[in-house]
Amino acid sequence: MNQLTAKIGLVAIIIALWAESVELSFVVALAVLLLHFNGRMSKGLSQIVLLILAMMAVGSLGIFTRQAGVYGFVKDLVYFLRPLTVMLATYYAVQKLRSKADFYNLIVLVGFGFALLHLLDIGIGLLRYRPNLQKFRELFGKLNHVEMVALFLVACIRDLPIKKTRFTLFYKIAVAALIFSFLLYFSRTMIVVLLLMIMAYYGYLKLNAKGVVMGLALLGFGAGFAFFLSQYEPEEQKNQTVLTGFLAKVKNSYTETFEPIKFDTYLKDRRSLWPRWRAYEASLVLNEVDQERKWLQGKGFGSTVDAGFELRLNGEMIQHLPTVHNGVAYVYMKTGVLGLLLYFTIFIVLYLYNYLNPKDQAHKSYNGVLVAAGFYMLAATMVVTGIFKPYMMVGFLIGGSFALKKEGA
C-alpha cells in the first residue's frame, strides 16, 4: 500500500508542478509529506533545508516594515516554503519505493505522456491555424520542464527500467516524440538548461582540465553564434515564421534580461520597454533597495517594487509588483545580500558532489543528478525566479536523489 501511495503521490506532485500553480503544488506536496514523513533526513538534504529556512528567517524580517500586509507576507512565505515542501515530500515518498530505479523511471514515463499529448495538440491545431512563433507558443505551450528533465534522464541514466523494455520500438518512438515535443516549445531557457545539465552530469563543468577545454569550446561556439546573431536582422513580427521568430527571440535575449535601463527614455516610449521588461524590473529592484538602504536583509516578505505605471497582470491592473522575473533580483529584493549568499550556497553544496568518487555506479549517477540540478537552479535563476518558480523540477530532483543516496548507502 505504501508503495502505491508513494507512486501516486510522486505523480501528483509532478502534475501539480506542470500546472504552474504555487497553491496547488504546495498543497499536494504538503499532503504527500504528511502521509510519508518519518523524521529521518540525510546530512546532504538537511544542509539545503537549513539554508532555505535561513533565507525564510531573513525574509520574515519584512513583517516589521510598514509595507508588508498580512496577505503579502503570507504569500511570500508560502512562495519560499513551497520548494522546500516539494523537496521533503519527494524525499520521504521515494524512500517508500521498493525499486529505487522507479523514481527516475516515473519522471520519464510522465514526460513521455506529456510529449505525446503536446504533439497531438499541435497536430490537431495546425489543421486550423498557421501561426507565427508568438501565436504558436500561445496555442501549444511555452514550456514543459517535466519533458526537459525526462529528456535529461534518458540521455544520462543508463539503468532506467524503461530502457530495458522488450518493446524497444515503443521506447524509440517515445524518445523521438519527447525530443520533437521538447524542440517545439521553442524555449531558449529549456535548451540552455538541458545542455548545461547534461554537461554537468558527465563532469564537463568541473574545475579541471576537461572542464577548461569544455569552457574554451563553449566560449568559441558562443562567440561564433553571437557574431551570427549580430548579422541577423529579424523581419517584422507580423511577417515572422516560427523559426525566424525564434531566432529573433534568441537575438533579443541579452537586451531582454541584462541590458542597463535608461528609465526616462523607456517610460516615455513603453513600446520599446516591453522587449527589455526583465532588465527593467531588475533595475527597479536595485534602485529601490539602494534608496531604502536595505542591502543586507532586503525589503522582506510582503514587499513590492513600484513599476512606475499601472499594467495588466493576471487580468488586473497593478503598479506595485510582488515578484520580478529575474531570480537574483527577486531574492535580493526579499532577502538582500544575506539571502543571495544563502541561495548560492545551495548551488555550491550541490556542485561539490562533482568531487565525490563513490565506488558504485548508482551513487555516481545520483551525484551527477545533484550537480545537474545545481546548474538547473543556477541557469533558471538568471531568467526566472529559480527554485521558487512554480513549474521548476529542481526540488523534486534534489529530494528524490538524496533519498536514493540514503537508501543505497
Ramachandran angles phi, psi of 397, nearest 5°: -65, -45
What pLDDT score was predicted for residue 409?
Answer: 45
pLDDT tops 50 at residue 82:
yes
Average pLDDT, the chain: 85
Q: What is the pTM of this model?
A: 0.88
Distance of CA 175 to the CA centre of its chain: 22
Cα 318 from Cα 6, distance rounded (Å): 41
Cβ burial, residue 287 (10 Å; 0-12/13-18/19+): middle
Contact 8, 31 (CB under 8 A): no
pLDDT tops 70 at residue 232:
no
What pLDDT score was predicted for residue 274?
Answer: 65
Rounded mean pLDDT of 51-78?
Answer: 85
Rounded mean pLDDT of 263-281?
Answer: 65
Contact 328, 378 (CB under 8 A): no
What pLDDT score was predicted for residue 31?
Answer: 97
User: Distance from first CA to last CA of the chain, Å, rounded?
Assistant: 25
What letter would DSSP give residue 273?
A: T
Q: Give the tens place of pLDDT for each residue, 165-193.
A: 888 888 999 999 999 999 999 888 899 99
Which alpha helices (H) appear in 315-393, and where do they start and end?
Answer: 327-351, 361-383
Contact 101, 161 (CB under 8 A): yes
Cα 52 from Cα 251, distance rounded (Å): 35
Give the Å distances, CA to CA, from 314 to 160, 311, 317, 321, 351.
Answer: 40, 10, 8, 12, 36
Here the cell at position 406 is 540514503
What pLDDT score was predicted for residue 354?
Answer: 83
Ramachandran angles phi, psi of 73, nearest 5°: -65, -50
- Domain extents in the chain: 2-208+325-407, 209-252
Cα 122 from Cα 385, distance rounded (Å): 29
What pLDDT score was predicted for residue 242?
Answer: 53
Here the cell at position 129 is 491555424
Nearest to 280 by CA among 304, 252, 308, 303: 308
What pLDDT score was predicted for residue 283?
Answer: 84
What pLDDT score was predicted for residue 307?
Answer: 81
What pLDDT score was predicted for residue 241?
Answer: 56
Q: Give the tens place of pLDDT for each residue, 303-358.
A: 989 887 777 766 778 888 888 888 999 999 999 999 999 999 999 999 999 887 77
pLDDT tops 80 at residue 227:
no
